[in-house]
Amino acid sequence: MDLLWQVLVNGVLLGGLYALMALGLALVWGVLNIVNIAHGAFIMLGAYVCYYLFAGLGLDPFAALPLAMLALFVFGYVVQRYLLNLVIRAPMFNTLLITFGIDVVLTLLAQLAFSADFRTINPTYAGSNFMLGSATVPFVRVIAFGIAVGLTLLLWLFLTRARLGRAIRATAQNLVAARLYGVEPRRVYALTFALGAALAGAAGSLYGVVSQVNPYIGGSLTAKSFAIAIIGGLDSPLGVIVGGLFLGIVESLTSLYIGPTYSDVASFGILVLVLIFRPSGLLGRTA
């Protein structure tokens, strides 16, 4: 029973990070109708920004997180405004090819710039932990979980309360009506993509604290983010939290009772079941 409790705690903490990883992908997909294959590469870049701020300037990784978000926000805005915006009305296959190309280019440039070595962000308190019942809880994972859930809730408040957030939702729901109310789609699209990139930068910073980073982590992170976005629902940030937590717990239980090599099998098996029985996601709106 103690082992099961430990696994459940680990699954919840992992799920919070998963939710933040998927949030930017879900936002861009839901508003721009672009499946950003380069999303995992953005997460990877965010991790490297945080790593070099920590290793080069001695900045605490959690203090470096806003700077990583800002760097990825600017990068995402430029990519959408001057590249993706040129094909925003093209068929989805075209945008898939372009974002796949961006992913390949960013991965190769990262290898040239940073080498293929694994890197880890290890602050002085990295080994600190505390007991939650019979479970040992790493301090950095709790902080990462809190930041991930906090950013997700802030995004939900932004989309429901802020003027720009409502403009983003209106553009996603009905572009023609949004234009009639004075919304400029090009600006909204660029800011939405930049916001998704900033969330990827935050996820990368937290990922670098709890795991190892190299230029090739992007592909698996994109696939995981895709699965969580579908399971939770593209139109619900809170649904993405539920999807991330659900997947984190399922993967942890699968690793315990079946084996760690089957965790991805369980994740994508659940994705298939959701697509069959609940295509809108766990908390997504049904037609």
Q: CA-CA distance, 275 to 269, in Å (whole number)?
A: 10
CATH domain 2-277 topology: ABC transporter involved in vitamin B12 uptake, BtuC (1.10.3470)
Of 117-121, 233-237, 283-287, the poorest mean pLDDT is in 283-287
Is pLDDT above 80 for 237?
A: no
What percent of the chain stands above pLDDT 70?
95
Helix pair angle (218-232, 263-277), 10° resolution? 40
Is pLDDT above 90 for 101?
A: yes
* Mean pLDDT score, 170-183: 73
**Which stretches within 115-184 are classed as H helix?**
139-161, 163-173, 175-180
pLDDT of residue 180: 67
Least Cα distance to 225 among 45, 30, 72, 40 occurs for 40
- Straight-line distance from the first to the last Cα atom of the chain, in angstroms, rounded to the nearest whole number: 42
Q: Is 90 in a helix, a strand, or coil?
A: coil
Is pLDDT above 90 for 239?
A: no
| Six-digit token string for 270 | 């659940």
Least Cα distance to 152 among 193, 103, 114, 203 occurs for 203
What percent of the chain stands above pLDDT 90?
31
Of 38-42, 84-88, 195-199, the poorest mean pLDDT is in 84-88
Task: Please answer whether residues 199 and 149 qualify as being in contact, where contact means their C-beta atoms are separated by less than 8 angstroms.
Answer: no
Of 181 and 128, the one with more pLDDT? 128
pLDDT of residue 35: 87
Tell me the per-residue pLDDT of 240-268, one tens digit each, with 9 for 90 and over. 888 888 888 888 888 888 888 888 888 88
pLDDT of residue 88: 75
Confidence of residue 287 (pLDDT cuts 50, 70, 90): very low
Tell me the per-residue pLDDT of 11-32, one tens digit each, with 9 for 90 and over. 888 888 998 999 999 888 888 8
Q: Is 91 exposed, middle or buried (0-12, 13-18, 19+ CB in 10 A)?
A: exposed
